[in-house]
Structure formats: C-alpha cells, structure tokens
C-alpha cells in the first residue's frame, strides 16, 4: 500500500490521543479515571451520532434519549427486578439492542421531516423517555432511580472500567472511520450536500439512513449501559437536555464529515467543566455561546482548522483534456444497447402544461439534441426521464420495457444517468470522491462488511477508486483528483458531473446544458467527448443552447416550444426550418 506523507500526518493526532490514554493510568489518580472513562463513554455515543449529524447532516439533537434507554435497559436487566437477573455483559448488549431499535424509531421522521422539524421530533422523544423513566416507578425506580450494572473483574475497578470503555471507544473510532471511508460514508455526505445528485446515482436514502440509525442507536444504547456502570446509580435527572446538547455540539465544533474533529470536540467538552469548575453551573449558557461561536466564526469546526491540504495552491494554467483511451477502457466491452421511447407524455404543474404530449426517442449510439427557448420544457423532459416527475399521461420505455414510475434511484440502476443544469457537486469532497459517488451501486459489500472493513469492502473501495480515476482521465480532470470540488472552476464541475455519470456505465446519458459557462475550446473538447461517449453505444440526450455544439455533434435534433415538438430532424433540416429559425435560432 502506498502511504503518503499526508496520510502519515493524519495519524499524528490519533497517536497523541493514544499516548495520553496510555499515560493517564500511570498517574494513578482515580478522579482522572472517572473523567477519562466518561469521555470514552460519551465518544462511543458521539462516534455513532457523528455519522448522523456530521455525515448525513441530520439534526438529531435529542440523542440523550437513546443513551437513557440503554442505561435503563442494562440496569433493569442486570438488577433482575423485572426479569430474571441477567449477566451484566448481556445486559449491556441488550441496552445496545434497545438503542438500535429506538434509533430507527427516532430516526424515521428524518425521511419525511426537514431539518428543524426533525430536530424537534428527536427532542420530543427525549422528553417522553425522561417522563416514562419518572413515571414507571415499579420498573425504573422513578425519581429515586436504580443501581447500574456492576461489571465483573477486572472491570470492577476505576481503571478496569476505564480500559474497557477506552478500548470500546477505540473500536468505535475505527469502525466509524471505516464507514466514513466506504461508499456508505460518501453516500451519506452525498445525501447531505447533493441529495438530488445522490438519487441520480442510485443512492437510496431510506435504506442508507436506516442502517446508520441502527448503528448509531446501538452505540448510544451501549454507551448508556456503560454510563450506568460508571455512575453506579442512575436517576432521570442524569439525562438532561444539557447532556444532549453536549453530544450534539461535540460533533458541530468538530466539523462536518470528520472523525478526528468530533473526537477532539468530545474530549474538549468533557474536560471543560472539570478544568473550569465554575463553568459547570453555566453549562447551558456555555454551550449556547459555543454554538453561536461555531456558526459565526468557524463553520467548518476543528476539522477545517486542521485541514491544510485544501489551502495548497492549485496547479496553474490547467486545461481539461479528455483522454479517449480512458473512455474506451471505462465504457468498452459489450453493453446492453437500449432505445428510449417516450410517447404522448403530458406533465402539468397545476394548469401549466410543461410537457404537452411529447413523443421522443433516443437510439443507442445516437446523440439526440433537445433545444428550444427558455421554459419550453427541456429540463422537465429530463426530469421525467430520470424519474423525478411522474407524468400524468403517456408511456416511457427503455429497451421496450416500461420504466418504474417516478423512482430516480431505480432509473439509475437501469443505466439512466444525468448531469444537471446547475452542477450538483459536494464542495467539501475532492474531485475523486465526487466521482466515486457515481460508483456507489458498483459496491458489493454490505454495511456491516464496511463497518469492519472486511476484504470485500476493501476490494469495493479499490475497484471504485480505480474506475473513478479512469473516469476522471476520460473527461480530462485526473490532475485535479485530490482537489476539493469547491476550489474547481465552473467548467471543471461540468466535466466532473459527466465523469460521475459515466461511473454508472450509462445506457442513456442525459446532459442538461453541459456547455453553459465553457470557453470556446472547452466546448470543442466537450463536443468530441460527447461524440466519443455515443460511439461506445450510449444513447445521449443533449439539452443545449449553443447552436454550434448542437449542429456539430447531434445525429438528430428535436425542437421544443411550450412543451410541444416544434420540429424534428437532422441538424441540416433544423438549421433551415422556417418556424425554428424565426421562433428560436434567430435570423
Ligand atoms: P427549460 O426548457 O428552460 O429547461 P423547464 O423544463 O425548466 O424549461 O420549464 C418548463 C416550464 O415548466 C416553465 O414554464 C417552468 O416555469 C415550469 N416549471 C418547471 N419546473 C417547475 C416546477 N417544479 N413547478 C412548477 N413549474 C415548473
Ligand atoms: Mg432547463
């Protein structure tokens, strides 16, 4: 394996933390064991929460609920007041199980509710859990509480428990880092920053989020059980809103899409009240202040402060030079060649007939131009084909088979791929990672295999990465592979989107104004690239305003006006078509 210096320096902070973890017990101070154990327990929960808040961008602010559920489950089962007494280790696992189940229950609203409303729903759940803990006295002990599971030797001493929790914290660091580095981690970020593009790449958000909610819930439940052991006694007021805020803000000060940042955030927020004891009484105030500070002064969190890669100078005088041999390698081989047929498609927005009885076919190996004035329904046509809109009338078939209605994720799997009129790119990810999003469906390993970085998951990564490098070469962006996408020029983003679409081995490629914002030379290269893609047997539907590009590369052209076909024919026919010239092309 090739290890770069950047990769080595990325390990340094983890090594320092490990060093502190190892040195701490040598001080023999039991109070430090308590703080260290607490930080480790918090991190087990926050490591899971990080995937939800930092990676998927879901504002889960009430995670203390799952922590409390794990705590109570483990304590009740270990105490044996309700059920036969259960060994503490099993009780902890049961706490994790209950956490996982309720993790999904708390998480499901995220599939329907937007940010703020989802945040409120998690908070509501936290209130319910506290109320139940208070009210269900014969099980939970009500306000008086109950004792936590007491673990067997060697975990029954302060340092024994410390090592157990720190060990588990290390494990959770590793497995969340594994997920983050896998296609699942990239898919989470894609649903966060470019949801529509994620769908177009075949990423099913519900399926993905459920896996992550299960995992994060289990982590929270396990952490809760360990917390009960640490506290030796739990009452409902151990699980305050402040604690929930601590979890949430640890991720935020850490920074989105990072493992190290939230880890440092957790350590910082656990230590803060200890170092500055008077602050403890002011914790809500301090957290609110920190939150404001992060939002205003450092939206990227600790991770952004540590990120030096993205401040390096970019290669100057760069040009986009597509490599046709790489394209052949990427798309070569036998491809199922399929024809797209749209018949009598009607799509209304209220009373507006955006598409009004459209017939259109695109043959494999053909570049079909779709032109027309602004608002004539070109983008809407692409949205119907890629499954974002469900037409009120008409049929849509690919290779003679009717396409499943209005499911972008399913269309991507059938090889219908697209770019967007405004590029939908993840700015915080590198060019290579953006293209790798397109390879999500190519992976074979399950979420659990990715968690553990099992051989199949590692093979997936190698293969997706190699294909993505090929796709970058094919569109001429390989020299920018490691550059964050938000540093690229607009024209480069257009080619980047094509590379991402090529990752899906398209049968039908939909391009929405790919030449907008490109220089004359870039348009020529784009034209050659589109031609080359179609020569590999791909059907290409090209929406464009640049008449030169359309007439250069298209085999057939359809002209839309007010959602209807105004004209249809070869470029030579369209160029001289009377109505088209007067309505659209101009004299
Ligand atoms: P263009 O040919 O410029 O790509 P569009 O397909 O974007 O045109 O739009 C076609 C018509 O449909 C326009 O009148 C536009 O205002 C309308 N339209 C597009 N999307 C929507 C929407 N989501 N809701 C309502 N009207 C829409
Ligand atoms: Mg448009």
**Ligand number, closest to the Cα atom of 381:** 1
Report whether pLDDT(7) > 80: no
d(CA 432, CA 450): 20
Query: What CATH number should be reported for the domain holding residue 511?
Result: 3.40.50.300
Looking at the fold, whether 451 and 564 belong to one and the same domain comes out as yes
**Which among 245, 266, 262, 195 has a CA at the least distance from the CA of 41?**
266
DSSP state letter for 2: -
Whether the predicted pLDDT of 6 surpasses 80? no
Predicted local confidence at residue 505, as pLDDT: 93
Best of 350, 354, 369, 512 for a ligand 1 pocket test (most atoms within 8 Å of beta carbon) = 354
In a domain, 312, yes or no: no
Give pTM, 2 decimals: 0.92
Alpha-carbon separation of residue 290 from 309, 477, 558, 571 (angstroms)? 26, 40, 57, 61
DSSP state, residue 446: -
> Which of 222, 246, 270 is at the close of a domain?
246
Residues 526 and 435 in one domain: yes
The pLDDT value recorded for residue 286 is 78
Q: Across the strands, what pairs with 348?
A: 353
Ligand 1 residue neighbourhood (C-beta within 6 Å) = 349, 352, 354, 372, 374-380
Helix (H, G, I), strand (E, B) or coil at 424: coil
Residue of 349, 542, 583 to mutate, ligand 1, most atoms within 8 A of C-beta: 349
CA angle 67, 68, 73 (to 5 degrees): 105
Residues 242 and 332 in one domain: no
The verdict on residue 209 lying in a domain is yes
Structure tokens at 479: 């020299």
Whether 1 has a pLDDT exceeding 50, the answer reads: no
Residue 350: the pLDDT is 92
- Mean pLDDT, residues 302-320: 79
* Secondary element (H or E) of residue 171: helix 158-180
In angstroms, rounded to a whole number, what is the distance separating the alpha carbons of residues 352 and 38?
A: 60
559 and 442 inside one domain: yes
| Terminal CA-CA length for the chain | 61
**Ligand 1, atom 19, residue with closest C-alpha:** 380
Band of residue 14 on the pLDDT scale cut at 50, 70, 90: very high
Answer yes or no: is 304 within a domain.
no
- Give the per-residue pLDDT at 580: 85
Atom of ligand 1 nearest to the CA of 560: 2
Q: What is the percent of the chain where pLDDT is above 70?
A: 98
| Arithmetic mean of pLDDT, 279-302 | 77
Nearest ligand, CA 383: 1
Mean pLDDT, range 286-314, rounded to an integer: 79
Q: Which residues contact 101 (CB under 8 A, 6 or more apart)?
A: 217
Helix and strand counts by DSSP (H, E) for the chain: 25, 12
Distance 562 CA to ligand 1 centre (A): 10
Residue 544 Cα to ligand 1 midpoint, Å, equals 15
H helices of 232-377, in order, are 241-254, 260-275, 283-297, 301-306, 324-331
Residue 2 has pLDDT above 60, yes or no: no
State the DSSP string of 121-165. HHHHHHHHHHHHHHH-HHHH-GGG-EEPPPPPTTTTSHHHHHHHH
Ligand nearest to the CA of 376: 1
Residue nearest to atom 8 of ligand 1 (CA): 375
Q: Please identify, among 180, 211, 246, the residue that sits at the C-terminal boundary of a domain.
A: 246
What pLDDT is attached to residue 70? 97
Ligand 1 pocket test target in 375, 542, 543 with most atoms within 8 Å of CB: 375
CA 37 to centroid of chain Cα atoms? 31
Which ligand approaches the C-alpha of residue 564 most closely? 1
- Cα separation, 532 vs 143, in Å, equals 72
Q: Whose CA is nearest to atom 21 of ligand 1?
A: 349
Question: What's the rounded Cα separation, in Å, for the pair 501 and 84?
Answer: 57
Residues 551-582: pLDDT tens digits? 999 999 999 999 999 999 999 999 888 888 88
Same domain? 68 vs 205: yes
For residues 146 and 210, give the distance between their C-alpha atoms in angstroms, rounded to a whole number. 32
Ligand 1 atom showing the smallest separation from residue 389 Cα = 23
383 CA → ligand 2 middle, Å: 10
**Which atom belonging to ligand 1 lies closest to the Cα atom of 372?**
2
CB burial of 28-46 (b: ≥16 within 10 Å; e: otherwise) equals eeeebbbbbbbbbbbbbbb
- Look at residue 317 and tell me if it is in a domain: no
Q: How far apart are alpha carbons 548 and 536 in whole angstroms?
A: 23
* Cβ(208)–Cβ(191) below 8 Å: yes
Is the residue at 256 inside a domain? no
For residue 374, what is the DSSP state? Answer: T
* Residue 512 CA to ligand 1 centre (angstroms): 13
Q: Report which protein residue has its CA nearest ligand 1's atom 6.
A: 377
| CB-based burial label for 206 (10 Å; 0-12, 13-18, 19+) | exposed
Query: Same domain for 236 and 359?
Result: no
Residue range 154-166: mean pLDDT, rounded? 94
Rounded CA-CA distance 440/203 in Å is 7
Banded model confidence at residue 426, pLDDT cuts 50, 70, 90? very high
Q: Is residue 464 part of a domain?
A: yes
Q: Which of the ligands is closest to the CA of residue 348? A: 1
Q: Which residues pair with 568 in a beta bridge?
A: 558
Q: How far is the CA of 382 from the centre of ligand 1 (A)?
A: 11
Same domain, 328 and 242: no
Contact 143, 130 (CB under 8 A): no
363 & 466 share domain? yes
Q: Which of 5-19, 61-75, 145-159 has the least mean pLDDT?
A: 5-19
What is the average pLDDT across 1-20? Answer: 80
Interhelix angle 205-231/158-180, nearest 10 degrees: 170
Closest approach atom of ligand 1 to CA 421? 4
16 belongs to a structural domain: no
Domain that holds residue 143: 38-246
Q: What is the residue with the minimal CA distance to atom 14 of ligand 1?
A: 375
Query: What does the alpha-carbon distance between residue 229 and residue 549 come to, in Å, rounded to a whole number?
Result: 69
Task: Indicate which residue's Cα is closest to atom 13 of ligand 1.
Answer: 375
User: Do residues 241 and 343 both lie within one domain?
Assistant: no
Q: In 10 A of CB 235, how many CB atoms? A: 16
3-state secondary structure of 8: helix
Question: Residues 64, 244: contact at Cβ < 8 Å?
Answer: yes
Query: Using 50, 70 and 90 to split pLDDT, how confident is the model at 262?
Result: very high
Q: Which residues, 6 or more positions from 131, have their beta carbon under 8 angstroms from its beta carbon?
A: none
For 226-238, how does the pLDDT look when each residue is reduced to its tens digit (9 = 90+)? 999 999 999 999 9
- What is the CA(448)–ligand 2 centre distance, in A? 41
Lowest mean pLDDT among 112-116, 307-311, 378-382, 439-443: 307-311
Looking at the fold, whether 81 and 178 belong to one and the same domain comes out as yes
Paired tokens of 17: 């933390």
Residue nearest (by alpha carbon) to ligand 1 atom 17: 354
Instruction: State how many domains the chain has.
Output: 2
Per-residue pLDDT at 105 exceeds 80: yes
- pLDDT tens, position by position, 56-98: 999 999 999 999 999 999 999 999 888 888 999 999 999 999 9
Which of the four pLDDT bands, split at 50, 70 and 90, describes residue 267?
A: very high
Lowest mean pLDDT segment, chosen from 293-307, 321-335, 337-351, 489-503: 293-307
Looking at the CA of 371, name the nearest ligand: 1
Tell me what the mean pLDDT of segment 378-397 comes to. Answer: 94
Q: Are residues 209 and 340 in the same domain?
A: no
What pLDDT, on the 0 to 100 scale, is given for residue 334? Answer: 66
Residue that finishes a domain, picked among 195, 220, 246: 246
Give distance in angstroms: CA of 379 to centre of ligand 1: 7
Distance 374 CA to ligand 2 centre (A): 7
441 domain residue, yes or no? yes
How far apart (Å, rounded) are the C-alpha atoms in residues 587 and 574? 13
Kindly report the average pLDDT of the chain as a whole number. Answer: 91
For atom 27 of ligand 1, which residue has the closest CA?
349
CA 114 to chain centroid: 16
Quote the pLDDT of residue 587: 46
State both tokens at 47.
Answer: 């490591």
- In 3D, which of 505, 511, 545 has the Cα closest to residue 423? 511
**Are 61 and 182 members of one domain?**
yes
The confidence score (pLDDT) of residue 281 equals 73
Q: Which tokens sit at 391?
A: 């037409």
Q: Whose CA is nearest to atom 26 of ligand 1?
A: 349
């Amino acid at each position: 394996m090739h290890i770069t210096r950047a990769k080595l320096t990325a390990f340094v902070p983890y090594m320092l933390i490990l060093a502190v973890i190892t040195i701490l017990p040598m001080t023999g101070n039991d109070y430090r064991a308590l703080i260290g154990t607490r930080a480790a327990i918090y991190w087990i929960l926050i490591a899971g929460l990080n995937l939800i808040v930092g990676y998927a961008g879901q504002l889960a602010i009430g995670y203390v609920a799952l922590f409390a559920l794990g705590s109570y489950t483990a304590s009740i089962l270990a105490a044996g007041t309700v059920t036969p007494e259960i060994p503490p280790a099993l009780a902890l696992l049961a706490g994790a199980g209950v956490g996982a189940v309720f993790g999904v229950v708390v998480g499901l609203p995220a599939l329907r509710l937007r940010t703020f409303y989802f945040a409120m729903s998690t908070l509501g759940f936290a209130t319910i859990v506290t109320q139940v803990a208070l009210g269900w006295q014969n099980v939970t002990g009500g306000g008086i509480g109950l004792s936590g599971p007491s673990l067997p030797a060697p975990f029954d001493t302060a340092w024994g428990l410390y090592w157990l929790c720190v060990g588990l914290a290390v494990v959770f660091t590793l497995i969340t880092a594994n997920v983050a580095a896998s296609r699942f981690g990239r898919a989470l970020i894609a649903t966060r920053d470019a949801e529509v593009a994620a769908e177009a790449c075949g990423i099913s958000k519900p399926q993905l989020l459920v896996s992550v909610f299960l995992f994060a819930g289990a982590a929270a439940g396990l952490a809760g059980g360990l917390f009960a052991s640490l506290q030796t006694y739990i009452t409902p007021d151990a699980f305050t809103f402040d604690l929930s805020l601590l979890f949430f803000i640890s991720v935020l000060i850490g920074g989105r899409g990072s493992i190290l940042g939230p880890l440092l955030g957790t350590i910082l927020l656990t230590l803060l009240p200890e170092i500055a004891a008077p602050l403890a009484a002011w914790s809500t105030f301090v957290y609110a202040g920190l939150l404001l500070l992060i939002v205003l002064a450092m939206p990227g969190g600790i991770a952004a402060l540590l990120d030096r890669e993205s401040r390096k100078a970019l290669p100057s005088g760069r040009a986009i030079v597509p490599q046709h041999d790489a394209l052949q390698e990427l798309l070569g081989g036998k491809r199922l060649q399929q024809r797209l047929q749209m018949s009598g498609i009607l799509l209304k927005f209220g009373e507006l007939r955006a598409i009004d009885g459209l017939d259109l076919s695109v043959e494999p190996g053909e570049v079909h131009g779709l032109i027309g004035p602004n608002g004539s329904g070109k983008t809407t046509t692409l949205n119907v084909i890629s499954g974002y809109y469900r037409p009120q009338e008409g049929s849509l078939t690919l290779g003679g088979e009717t396409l499943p209605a209005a499911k972008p994720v399913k269309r991507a799997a059938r090889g219908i791929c697209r770019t967007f009129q405004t590029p939908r790119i993840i700015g915080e990810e590198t060019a290579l990672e953006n293209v790798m999003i397109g390879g999500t469906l190519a992976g074979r390993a399950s979420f659990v295999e990715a968690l553990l970085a099992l051989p199949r998951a590692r093979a997936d990564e190698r293969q997706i990465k190699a294909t993505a490098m090929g796709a970058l070469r094919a569109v001429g962006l390989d020299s920018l592979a490691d550059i964050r996408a938000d540093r690229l020029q607009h024209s480069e983003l257009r080619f980047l989107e094509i590379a991402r679409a090529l990752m899906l081995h398209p049968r039908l490629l939909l391009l929405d104004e790919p030449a907008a914002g490109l220089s004359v030379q870039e348009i020529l290269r784009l034209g050659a690239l589109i031609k080359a893609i179609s020569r590999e047997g791909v059907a290409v539907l090209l929406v464009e305003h640049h008449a030169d590009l359309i007439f250069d590369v298209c085999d057939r052209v359809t002209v839309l006006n007010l959602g209807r076909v105004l004209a249809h024919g070869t470029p030579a026919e369209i160029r001289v078509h009377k109505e088209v010239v007067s309505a659209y092309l101009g004299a």
